[in-house]
Structure 1
């Protein structure tokens, strides 16, 4: 998570010290109530999420069992899909990444798009061919990251879907734009997915009530493992499938394993796992969680020490690209704010 800064230490000192760490759900409620006035948002959410994950890890270690067992899962296997986080990548790098994932049995992949339709079509084709080396028909997902307006999404998807069968389009409108997301869902063949950038449980309710999304993205950002499970249960009541977002060492697969409405989890290969020691291997397209107590990984302290930052400062996350959501140009037209 983003960490939580000084608030994290305040919560530990005032709410958790001296308490039985096994009461994870109760501690989660206490922490959420503690930030009620200011809201379960931003750094407050990050702090609670970090502590919630740590508490679940500790509880499973006390139980001397892997977290997926503590959470009540009957399997240690979670289906995976590959995500390149790929805008900076060349064509060859995209090809190599998805071929590498296909060699591990993964036939589903997600690509970031949105800046140039012609280039996007070309890159989707590269991903499709690379994933096909798995020997299975690829599932193709695309991620707009809230860059398009609903109308622009519909116009662009009319072009994309003439050539490709898209499994889902992710964040085709802003995360809280219930009407916009519903409009897109009603007018494209692909499923609409969103939710990864929401925080509190109540943020998800309008999307589900309005049937604005077809797939709900959920991750540790939803106020930790506890919060994410509550959100997934909410989606289950609406018969809405969920996908779990990527995380270091794939530890959220422990939670995904227990969800009856989970379809597949996002996995990356961006180098961050180099500071962890774990054996949550991917076999035949599935994350296979190990039997080690807790989350199932340890830190490589030597590698962590090599990346120590002496003057740590909290910073805001990635901003939004200038002009996002303001374009109205269709495929083949100038993609400029001047079109307004």
Structure 2
């Protein structure tokens, strides 16, 4: 990495950003959650938006992935109606645009939004409508952002085949890929081989949550049995690295450019990493893995892409070169057509980093 200018918060905020791993139900505005919960009669731990935001960060910082996931009870409670989903999806996009994000993939599980009578297809149609409204408003404001959708199946239930079919059905309406999510330990991705077989037959991209709460076996199944092109989190790939020497699986992931969707703050909260300074994201980047930087859940982690980047600059010594590399990596591994990826890199990201003082060479 070459020397880079000093990175203050304003410079980082202005940088063009790309995020591949961000959950819709983990990214609500606290004020919106308070308002929608009151209308729905759902009790919250706090009715003050600032207090609620602080509660989320504290509750999610237990070092336990299961408890982290449990905090979603409140956001899901207000995401059961068409009106709620439309508003949340539109605001989601506007918040990304305000953070300098130019490309994002949002993920959510349609099966978690059926309590008020919506069907799986109606949930997807509604979210896509809200995302489109947000993209239109962002473009009008001069801060365009392209958002693709990943549909998640919950690894603890048995709807993955149906969600896979839904993913294919909406591929021309903004859905760009498939994921499985939920508690990792005890629920291997190979439980959902029928879904993955269908997706592969239909040439649909796949990412899989793996290597967060469980280690190398989970990543191996995701890659070698289920054919994942990206790994959600994947931080436990370090279990297959001795010093700076990757083992067989880690080498396969690196050499085949299988992107790691790493979420530093979230990893610290769930105990997958000790701290930002000690997070293995820098080691993995230095070893040539296709590392991408992500937020995971902006409300739950009290974060943004600007904050994630700034933390790595201030606590792990990252430079503009590091930030540019993970941004380009994300776009190279995005689940959109190659010409669109290239255009975002050449027309948006590279000029944006050049304006900030980037002087390095392209990365692989």
Larger helix percent = 2
When normalised by structure 1's length, the TM-score is 0.49
Higher-Rg structure is 1
When normalised by structure 2's length, the TM-score is 0.46
